[in-house]
Amino acid sequence: MNLAKISANGQITVPIEIRRLLDLKSGDKILFFQKKNGEIVISNASSQAIRKAQAAFTGAAEAMGIYSENDIQELVNEVRYGKEK
């Protein structure tokens, strides 16, 4: 368990162990959210955004008929040259 003290301005210092676990660096933003059971969770906002984007794109490649690196290259060629090469 780690303990942090809140300053008069509402600021806290995140303990080093927690910064390491969340891969937090100077200037990073942290996200606070409450789960349905009332528990408060702290997360690295960047990591959370990446996970959300990954979830949003799940299945997009398959929906476009892309199943391999070769399919990706064909799509790139089509966009670059207006036809498959």
Give this prediction's pTM. Answer: 0.52
pLDDT digits (tens, 9 = 90+) for 4-34: 999 999 999 999 999 999 989 999 989 898 9
The helix/strand/coil state of 59 is coil
pLDDT digits (tens, 9 = 90+) for 28-80: 989 898 999 999 988 888 877 677 777 888 888 888 888 898 988 988 888 88
Radius of gyration of the chain (CA): 21
Determine the length of the chain.
Answer: 85
Alpha carbon distance 4, 18 (integer Å) = 11
Alpha carbon distance 36, 5 (integer Å) = 26
**Which of 23, 11, 18 lies closest to 41, judged by CA?**
18
